[in-house]
A = this chain, B = another copy of it.
């Protein structure tokens, strides 16, 4: 009996191993089924291959080969000669997270992922460097990406940028003033001003980004501070009230994060609240969300910068302590993607 159990476990492991071994082909088969309209057609009405090939003007070879893969992968069911879609198959058609993740991997990561080992060994995004030899990070090259790649990058960025700013605003206010490090397009500031037109806001970002947002009429009255936070020479303004870093620290390595937090601490008063908003690997309700986060780390490795990742709460807490700060409060499960807001202060 125990032997039977062991055998079952081994067979199940071997099945799962073949799923991973052939995974790139499964992935591209799903893509072909989406591009050729096969999944959509089966979703609209279960059909046999002979009807499907007529309706879609595809060869029988195309339809049967793809649907055999789909059936073995749980994307369609096959009964009495008729293919019907499963909930898994429908996810590729209707679920926005799935669609965005899929296109991001297809257009942004697929090719570069071949350079993963090399990227880890060198600490450089070798997938990106295969496209742009001089690139240290992807950010200055975003406008130069091929169109599909650019679209999928921005869709991914946009999808995961629902930063639950309304909730964050309510948690951190009232406060005398807010400093937003890595302010990007000023999305958070626009939310703040929705609630309080006169709130004192300072946006901190790279000089080239500050140039872009400085003249946004919706940000009129805000202060702007241009700095490369990783540069020793670039100082922060004196900070009081609250500092916010929203999905900012995951673009940096642990060493860089420590450097940034130390710099923030130096500029801050003892009672300044330092807020970190991140989706943490170990604070996810859904397994699918955790899967997305840990794999997004690999994008950072081979395509974005070669050194950053999505962090776990426990990793971040260690870095926070190393930087001379402490976590005062933890606000979990914020927004659609289970973000966590950490409230930190100087450990004095």
Task: List 15 additional contacts besides A17-B88, A72-B287, A72-B291; criterion CB under 8 Å.
Answer: A13-B88, A13-B90, A14-B95, A15-B288, A16-B91, A17-B288, A18-B97, A18-B98, A20-B73, A23-B105, A28-B298, A60-B254, A61-B253, A64-B315, A65-B294
Query: Across the interface, do B98 and A31 meet the contact criterion of CB distance under 8 Å?
Result: no
Is A59 an interface residue when CB atoms closer than 8 A count as contact? yes
Nearest Cβ on chain B to A17's Cβ, whole angstroms: 4
Which of A20, A71, A102, A294 lies at the interface centre, i.e. has the most chain B CB atoms within 10 A of its CB?
Answer: A20
Residues from chain B with a CB closer than 8 A to the CB of A101 are 18, 21-22
Proximity bits, A160-197, B CB within 8 Å = 1, else 0: 00000000000000000000000000000000000000
Is A309 an interface residue when CB atoms closer than 8 A count as contact? yes
Is A24 an interface residue when CB atoms closer than 8 A count as contact? yes
Is A239 an interface residue when CB atoms closer than 8 A count as contact? no
A29 touches which of B17, B65, B116, B307 (Cβ 8 Å): B116
Is A246 an interface residue when CB atoms closer than 8 A count as contact? no
Nearest Cβ on chain B to A174's Cβ, whole angstroms: 38
A15 touches which of B31, B71, B287 (Cβ 8 Å): B287
Residues from chain B with a CB closer than 8 A to the CB of A97 are 14, 18
Query: Across the interface, do B120 and A28 meet the contact criterion of CB distance under 8 Å?
Result: no
Using C-beta atoms within 8 Å of the partner chain, give the interface range for chain A: 35 or more
Q: How many copies does the complex hold?
A: 2
Query: Across the interface, do B109 and A24 meet the contact criterion of CB distance under 8 Å?
Result: yes
Nearest Cβ on chain B to A92's Cβ, whole angstroms: 6
A24 touches which of B27, B291, B307 (Cβ 8 Å): B27
Nearest Cβ on chain B to A142's Cβ, whole angstroms: 20
Contacts A69-B298, A309-B65 given; indicate if A116 touches B26 (C-beta within 8 A). Answer: no
Q: How far is the CA of A246 from the CA of B76 in the complex (A)?
A: 31
Closest to A33 in B: B117
Q: How far is the CA of A70 from the CA of B97 in the complex (A)?
A: 22
A-B contact pairs, 18 of them (CB 8 A): A9-B87, A14-B91, A18-B97, A18-B101, A20-B23, A23-B24, A24-B113, A25-B109, A27-B113, A29-B116, A32-B120, A36-B117, A36-B121, A61-B123, A65-B297, A65-B298, A69-B297, A72-B295
Closest to A90 in B: B13
Residues from chain B with a CB closer than 8 A to the CB of A109 are 24-25
Nearest Cβ on chain B to A199's Cβ, whole angstroms: 38
Q: How far is the CA of A95 from the CA of B31 in the complex (A)?
A: 29
Closest to A112 in B: B28
A19 touches which of B22, B69, B72, B291 (Cβ 8 Å): B291
Q: How far is the CA of A16 from the CA of B73 in the complex (A)?
A: 10
Residues from chain B with a CB closer than 8 A to the CB of A30 are 20
Is A328 an interface residue when CB atoms closer than 8 A count as contact? no
Residues from chain B with a CB closer than 8 A to the CB of A23 are 20, 23-24, 26-27, 105
Which of A11, A21, A28, A58 lies at the interface centre, i.e. has the most chain B CB atoms within 10 A of its CB?
Answer: A21
Is A68 an interface residue when CB atoms closer than 8 A count as contact? yes
Residues from chain B with a CB closer than 8 A to the CB of A312 are 68
Residues from chain B with a CB closer than 8 A to the CB of A114 are 28, 110-111
Is A301 an interface residue when CB atoms closer than 8 A count as contact? yes
